[in-house]
Structure 1
Amino acid sequence: MSFARVRALVVVGGLAVVALVFVVVALVKDTQSNAGSGEGCPSDWPRADVTLRESKDVKINVLNATDRPGLAGTVADDFRNRNFQVKKEATQKKQIDDVAVLRYGPKGVSSAHLLRAYFLDNAEYEYDVKREDDVVDVVLGGGFQQLATTTEVNQSLGDLGAPVAPPGTCPMPIED
């Protein structure tokens, strides 16, 4: 074996040892091991579900707050075709001008986050800390045109990042 090969093996071996030391130090000194677990939160604060859901796990009510008849049914069908669990479709008497309003409680935080992407983050949000179910009310307003395409939803989710617990709540402990 030539001197150049021995020298190259020594350099590569040394780099491997240095990389291993860095990995061990990073794991031992990790200060974020409990991040997102809700530790350190007051016990009387509600726990918000911040685990991003798939559409098949999201329950919604679709409400029409426009003067366009049948809008709730049409959009509910669009959501069903995208594997959402549509619980109810109805008409709301009070009309709104927004694209949509998402109403949810602590258990619906992650579901509302996913739905934000279907409206390209143009929906208004009404968080109710006292709401105890995991259903999100999707109230369609006068500014609504259509739901985003799959590609647009994926891009919007990338822009939105991970769900965040609203003020006054703590994230639910992460399940293993």
Structure 2
Amino acid sequence: MGGQYRITGDKYPRMRRRRGRRMAVITVACAAALGLLGWGTLQLIDVFTGGDKASAAGSAEDCPPGASASPSPGVPAALPAPGTIKVNVLNATTRSGLAKKTADELKKRGFRIGEVGNASKKYDKKVKGTGILLGPTTALKTSLQVLGTQLTAAEPRTDAARKGVEVDLIIGDAFKKLTPEADASKALTKLTHPAPAPTNSRKGC
């Protein structure tokens, strides 16, 4: 056919483009509908199952590897009881009677008393502070810590050459009296029973 009824070729591409756009819109709409349907199905499953599986998975991701659900509080290192600590009370001052008086008070508080007398020449009249707590190296974090609760201002020292388990309380010029018994008891309790470590605040940890 020819003449004015002749169909030119430039109309066919336009018709194809419109058809392609419709197909793209339909495809996107179908994908969106399927997505919403799948999401709704998951929500219904979660409602009827209580979300247990999701909670368990969340807990596993929130907790670091090896972490327990409720961490146990830190366990303090074993410390000797006052009754197992033998203390030598030695006076390094010019005031008489301090060693005997202090030894009697420590005995009332449950400590075992060893030698009571004057300090050796190494310390006699040479301790300007409240006192010195002296013992073997192994006593630094054990016996000396416990004894230190009774005279908190004393200086702990260790002697690597020293053998045995006995410790010395060497009284210095600034000494007046032992730490009040109530305060010493509180310090000893805090030392042997420290506050629990804070628990993990994250859910499930």
CA contact (8 A) 1:61 1:137 kept: yes
SS of 1:102's equivalent in the other structure is strand
Equivalent residue, structure 2, for 1:10: 50
Equivalent residue, structure 2, for 1:65: 92
1:132-152 deviations in Å (ceiling 9; x for gaps):
211111100111111113432
Equivalent residue, structure 2, for 1:165: none
1:113 to 131, 145, 157: 145
Equivalent residue, structure 2, for 1:152: 183
1:26 to 67, 87, 100: 67
CA pair 102-10 structure 1, distance change in 2 beyond 3 A: same
Seq. identity, %: 24
Instruction: Give the number of the structure whose residues are more often strand, by fraction.
Output: 1
Q: CA deviation at 1:126?
A: 2.4
Q: CA deviation at 1:19?
A: 9.8
The structure number with the bigger radius of gyration is 2
SS of 1:26's equivalent in the other structure is coil
Aligned residue pairs, count: 134
1:113 maps to amino acid: Q
Distance 2:158 2:59 in 1: 46
Larger RCO of the pair (alpha carbons < 8 Å, separation 6+)? 1
CA contact (8 A) 1:106 1:129 kept: yes
Unaligned residue ranges in structure 2 (runs of 5+):
1-46, 69-75, 194-205
CA contact (8 A) 1:60 1:85 kept: yes
CA pair 158-20 structure 1, distance change in 2 beyond 3 A: farther
CA pair 69-161 structure 1, distance change in 2 beyond 3 A: same
CA contact (8 A) 1:62 1:88 kept: yes
Normalization by structure 1: what TM-score?
A: 0.61
Unaligned residue ranges in structure 1 (runs of 5+):
1-6, 28-35, 37-49, 163-176
Q: CA deviation at 1:60?
A: 0.8
Equivalent residue, structure 2, for 1:55: 82
CA contact (8 A) 2:79 2:143 kept: yes
Distance 2:55 2:130 in 1: 55
SS of 2:168's equivalent in the other structure is strand
Distance 1:157 1:19 in 2: 43
Q: CA deviation at 1:87?
A: 1.0
CA pair 63-26 structure 1, distance change in 2 beyond 3 A: same
CA contact (8 A) 1:65 1:142 kept: yes
CA pair 56-16 structure 1, distance change in 2 beyond 3 A: farther
1:69-122 deviations in Å (ceiling 9; x for gaps):
1111110000110111111101125212210111111232211111222112x1
Structure 1 stretches of 4+ with a deviation exceeding 6 A read 158-162
Equivalent residue, structure 1, for 2:196: none
CA contact (8 A) 2:132 2:172 kept: yes
1:91 to 118, 122, 135: 118
